[in-house]
C-alpha cells in the first residue's frame, strides 16, 4: 500500500466520476484531485496565449509554467477565476486533444502527483490508476453507457442556462471516447486491478456508497 492513501477513479467523460470522487473525498476527509481540470486549465491557458492545441512543444511549455491556484471551489488561472470558463464544451474538447500529447502529459505528471498528501487523496481522471498513481490501494473504473452520459451532460448544460443539442453531445462524447482510447500515451482503459463500477442505472449516492464499501474492505484487508 502507498504511504499516502490514494483512491484512483478513472472513466470516460460525463460518467459521473468527478462528482463521485469529490463526495467520497468529503466523506473520508481526503484531498481531491480533478485531473481533468488540470488539462482544461492547460487548454484554456494555451488558447489565451494564442497557442494551437496541436502544437505539442508550445502546449507542453504552457503546462510546465501553468499559474494555477485551487481555492476551495474556485480555480484561479493567473489570478483570474476561471471556474466556469474551463467547463465549456470547447475547452473540454481542447483538453481531450492536448491530453493525447506525450510531452504535455509528462509536464503535468509531477503536478498531479503532488496532490497526494495526508490523510489521503481521491483522484479522478483517465489515467490515475495506470500512470499517475499506479500503486494506489484502491482503483476504480467508473463508466456508463454513451446514451446515459450524453443525457446527463445535456441536462447539466440546460441547468446552467446553456443551449444544448443531445445529438451533438452524443457524437462529441463518442469522438472523445475514441480519441482517449486510441492515444499512444496512457490511453483510457480499465487497469487490470481496478474495480468496474457501471453507473448507467445507479444514482450518485449509490455509486458513492459502493466506493466507500470497497475502501472499507481494502482497509480491513490491510489491517488483517
Is residue 125 within a helix (H) or strand (E), and if so which, with residue range?
strand 121-125
Place of cell 441536462: 155
| Cis preceding-peptide flag for 151 (omega within 30 of 0) | no
**Is residue 100 within a helix (H) or strand (E), and if so which, with residue range?**
none
What pLDDT band is residue 224 in, cutting at 50, 70 and 90?
low
Q: In sequence order, what are the residues at sequence separation of 6 or more whose Cβ sits closer than 8 angstroms to the Cβ of residue 110?
A: none
Mean pLDDT value across residues 33-48 = 94
Of the candidate ranges 47-61, 91-105, 196-210, the one whose mean pLDDT is the lowest: 91-105
Tell me the CA distances in angstroms from 170 to 30, 146, 176, one per residue in order: 33, 7, 10
Question: Is 2 a residue whose pLDDT tops 50?
Answer: no
Q: What is the mean pLDDT of residues 23-44?
A: 94
**pLDDT at residue 1 in the model:** 39
pLDDT exceeds 90 at position 40: yes
Angle between helices 102-113 and 35-48 (to 10 degrees): 130
Residue 116 grid coordinates = 497526494
Could you tell me the residue ranges of all domains in the chain?
A: 6-223
Q: What is the CATH number of domain 6-223?
A: 3.40.50.300
pLDDT tens profile 194-203? 999 999 999 9
Instruction: Say yes or no to pLDDT of 72 above 80.
Output: no
- Please tell me whether residue 15 adopts helix, strand or coil conformation: coil
Question: Is residue 28 over pLDDT 50?
Answer: yes
Amino acid at each position: 500500500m502507498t504511504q499516502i492513501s490514494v483512491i484512483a477513479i478513472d472513466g470516460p467523460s460525463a460518467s459521473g466520476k468527478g462528482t463521485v470522487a469529490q463526495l467520497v473525498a468529503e466523506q473520508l476527509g481526503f484531498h481531491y484531485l480533478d485531473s481533468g481540470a488540470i488539462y482544461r486549465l492547460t487548454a484554456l491557458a494555451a488558447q489565451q496565449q494564442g497557442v494551437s492545441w496541436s502544437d505539442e512543444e508550445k502546449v507542453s511549455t504552457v503546462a510546465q509554467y501553468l499559474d494555477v491556484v485551487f481555492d476551495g471551489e474556485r480555480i484561479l488561472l493567473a489570478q483570474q477565476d476561471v471556474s466556469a470558463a474551463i467547463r465549456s464544451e470547447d475547452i473540454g474538447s481542447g483538453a481531450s486533444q492536448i491530453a493525447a500529447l506525450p510531452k504535455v502529459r509528462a509536464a503535468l505528471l509531477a503536478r498531479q502527483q503532488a496532490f497526494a498528501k495526508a490523510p489521503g487523496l481521491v483522484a479522478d481522471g483517465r489515467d490515475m490508476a495506470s500512470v499517475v498513481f499506479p500503486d494506489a490501494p484502491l482503483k476504480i473504473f467508473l463508466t456508463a453507457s454513451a446514451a446515459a452520459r450524453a443525457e446527463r451532460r445535456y441536462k447539466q448544460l440546460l441547468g446552467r442556462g446553456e443551449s444544448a443539442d443531445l445529438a451533438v453531445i452524443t457524437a462529441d462524447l463518442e469522438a472523445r471516447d475514441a480519441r482517449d482510447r486510441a492515444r499512444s500515451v496512457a490511453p483510457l482503459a480499465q487497469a487490470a486491478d481496478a474495480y468496474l463500477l457501471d453507473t448507467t442505472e445507479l444514482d450518485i449516492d449509490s455509486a458513492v456508497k459502493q466506493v466507500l464499501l470497497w475502501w472499507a474492505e481494502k482497509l480491513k484487508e490491510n489491517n488483517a
